[in-house]
């Protein structure tokens, strides 16, 4: 779907959160394109041709999710690759480039990342994925109109600040990590 592609180009983090939500929508409707058509696509105020394109996009996602056995949990491989690319960029900004602004954002988020890691029983070790999970979890709470504590809001804000900076660097590099000239061999 064209919108998701534009979103990916604009802000890769927002794209990931959006796609994770779409995966959950597909699971909620039990991979049934007719239900998705009835409750998601048809009520949308877009031209009929766009509704057809949207349906085809959902059909393709359903097919890929089934092929990758994502009926209960997990994310599409292409989304996992993006998370890994963001992790590589994160590691580069922290350990190689030592980007001061990013290091400050990372330092602010670090205690919250550690706390979230504990709460996940250590099942997720990747710091970028932990931050994404934290943001996605708050999104789901908001959609369910659940109360969100001030501490959680503050923690997620540190994740958002760090990931937004990372998304800008990702976009600037079009997903290709650029090392400073002195680092090239």
For residue 10, pLDDT over 80 is answered with yes
Question: In terms of domains, do 138 and 162 share one?
Answer: yes
For residue 8, pLDDT over 50 is answered with yes
Question: In terms of domains, do 168 and 85 share one?
Answer: yes
Question: In terms of domains, do 154 and 103 share one?
Answer: yes
Instruction: Return the pLDDT at 182.
Output: 47
- 71-130: pLDDT as tens digits: 999 999 999 999 999 999 999 999 999 999 999 999 999 999 999 999 888 788 899 999
Question: In terms of domains, do 159 and 82 share one?
Answer: yes
Provide DSSP, 101-155.
HHHHHHHHHHHHHHHHHHHTTTS---HHHHHHHHHHHHHHHHHTT----HHHHHH
Domain total of the chain: 2
Last residue of a domain, one of 67, 100, 116: 67
Question: In terms of domains, do 82 and 63 share one?
Answer: no
For residue 176, pLDDT over 80 is answered with no
Distance between CA atoms of 87 and 20, rounded to whole angstroms? Answer: 17
Instruction: Return the pLDDT at 185.
Output: 37
Instruction: Return the pLDDT at 179.
Output: 52
Q: How much is the average pLDDT of 152-168? A: 97
Q: How much is the average pLDDT of 25-41? A: 97
**Domain of residue 156, residue span:** 77-177
Tell me the pLDDT of the chain averaged across its residues: 91
């Amino acid at each position: 779907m064209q919108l998701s592609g534009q979103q990916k180009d604009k802000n890769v983090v927002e794209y990931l959160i959006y796609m994770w939500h779409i995966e959950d929508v597909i699971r909620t409707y039990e991979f049934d394109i007719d239900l998705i058509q009835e409750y998601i696509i048809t009520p949308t105020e877009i031209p009929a041709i766009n509704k057809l394109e949207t349906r085809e996009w959902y059909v393709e996602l359903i097919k890929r999710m089934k092929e990758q056995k994502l009926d209960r949990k997990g994310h599409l491989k292409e989304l996992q690759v993006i998370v890994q690319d963001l992790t590589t960029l994160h590691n580069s900004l922290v350990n190689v480039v030592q980007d001061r602004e990013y290091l400050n954002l990372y330092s602010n988020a670090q205690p919250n990342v550690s706390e979230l890691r504990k709460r996940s029983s250590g099942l997720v070790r990747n710091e970028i994925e932990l931050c994404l999970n934290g943001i996605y979890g708050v999104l789901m709470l908001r959609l369910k109109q659940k109360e969100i504590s001030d501490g959680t809001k503050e923690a997620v804000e540190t994740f958002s600040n760090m990931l937004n900076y990372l998304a800008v660097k990702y976009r600037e590099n079009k997903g290709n990590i650029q090392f400073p000239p002195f680092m090239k061999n």
